[in-house]
Amino acid sequence: MSAAEGPLVVGVDTSTQSTKALVVDAATGEVVASGQAPHTVSSGAGRESDPRRWWDALREALHQCGDAAREAAAVSIGGQQHGLVTLDGHGRPVRPALLWNDVRSAPQARRLTEELGGAKFWAERTGSVPAASFTVTKWAWLAENEPEALRATKSVRLPHDYLTERLTGEGTTDRGDASGTGWWASATEAYDEEILAHVGLSPALLPRVVRPGEVAGTVRDSHDLPFAKGTLVAPGTGDNAAAALGLGLRPGTPVLSLGTSGTVYAVAKRRPTDPTGTVAGFADAHGDWLPLACTLNCTLAVDRVAALLGLDREAVEPAAHLTLLPYLDGERTPNLPNASGLLHGLRHDTTAGQLLQAAYDGAVHSLLGALDLVLDEDADRSAPLLLIGGGARGDAWQQTVRRLSGRPVQVPEARELVALGAAAQAAGLLTGEDPAAVARRWNTTRGPVLEAVERDEATLARIAGVLSDAAPLLERSTDAR
């Protein structure tokens, strides 16, 4: 490990699949140590995880960081959004957490939208229209399906809140993650009492929303983690807001993130209110807004298609006649929570590589379709797309995004941007800086720019046509898992 120029901070990303920890030099942004440990996610009727395993994974990831973690002056935790963590009076999970990609609450999402003023009411009140991923719909699902668990619940947290509270002993969250619950009013930046009353959730069960730059608490004791008692703990935030911090985003710069889910977002000065529900009007972690469109099916779905075909994920061939909508987990954009995958245009001469390319095309199409809605009227639509996430370094992903967007693409060299954003937030506590300014000082967006190529209008039109024709079938699909 090289000698650090400044104090060390720890940034954590507790994602759907694993926990990653980075020890970072607050002065230079150099990653001096890292660790990673997997999570277990159920694969039955829904998507659930035991929050206690997140703590175990955090402990293992920090252990891999060695002595560097023990020297940290501050820590911050970024995490998967929307997950419903229900705790008893002793802070123990009542049941496994319902994760963001658990779509069983789709009926509750539809019902809540109808019962409380329709999509326009929700968009204006919370910034977003409820979808099956949102926490408020999961709480409504729990009330209908597991009333005993509901009665046993004495506090409700999001995934990053759970880990932060175990560090500090205090129930806190931040505006970025709170804005994805469906019960935080973006207009007033407070919990919405009418919505909470409607779903039967007392505000006393919810964490305090910590302001940007405020200390969430200090490490209360060493537990079995390497931190010293009294180590500063930043508020943390949701994964997309953390990645935006990690990139040091300025308003209008578009980001396309290729992970288990796919997301398109940009920092905005104006509060978003999209009544179509395509764009979620999230808050960011430092006082602005983060309009975002999300798909459920991205790298995991394409990798599953590659596995079914027995192909390496890069073994693609041009697919001029084929359309594959890879909605393997239902879909959020477009809003088809019970849909399944759909293949159109299969012929005798179709190759496995063409099928795989069609899966890439289908996954990217939904994200690009929402891009214009995410960007406000002042955004530069010729600026490079920042391509991040696990798929960003894959050639097939890069070429598909270039071909279907017609825009230049920049691939930052920095890895683990959620954890880096959390580290920047922790560093901001020590220096008094805006965490995004910290990340810009670290030059986290440095990386190659791939020039624009001609936009593939034919493929975009073909996919749009198939989606339109198949919409009634997709809407009637049932979840047979």
Q: What is the pLDDT along the chain (481 residues), one digit of tens a residue?
A: 456 788 999 999 999 999 999 999 999 999 999 999 999 999 777 899 999 999 999 999 999 999 999 999 999 999 999 999 999 999 999 999 999 989 899 999 999 999 999 999 999 999 999 999 999 999 999 999 999 999 999 999 999 999 999 999 999 999 999 999 999 999 999 999 999 999 999 999 999 999 999 999 999 986 789 999 999 999 999 999 999 999 999 998 999 999 888 999 999 999 999 998 889 999 999 899 999 998 889 999 999 999 999 999 999 999 889 999 999 988 878 878 788 999 999 999 999 999 999 999 999 998 998 887 888 766 777 789 999 988 999 999 999 999 999 999 999 999 899 999 999 999 999 999 999 999 999 999 999 999 999 999 999 999 999 999 988 888 766 444 4
- Per the annotation, the verdict on 102 as an active-site residue is no
In whole angstroms, what is the distance from residue 207 CA to residue 313 CA? 42
* Helix (H), strand (E), coil (C) string for 82-129: CCEEEECCCCCECCCEECCCCCCCHHHHHHHHHHCCHHHHHHHHHCCC
**What is the C-alpha separation between 135 and 140, in angstroms, rounded?**
9
Q: How many degrees, rounded to 5, is the angle at CA 451 between CA 450 and CA 455?
A: 115
Q: Is 72 helix (H, G, I), strand (E, B) or coil?
A: strand
Question: Alpha carbon of 164 to those of 19, 207, 225, 393, 470: distances in Å?
Answer: 14, 11, 13, 31, 44
Q: Which of 161, 174, 177, 239 is catalytic?
A: 239
Return the structure tokens found at 233: 């703990």
Q: What is the pTM of this model?
A: 0.88
How many CB atoms are located within 10 Å of the residue 215 CB?
A: 14
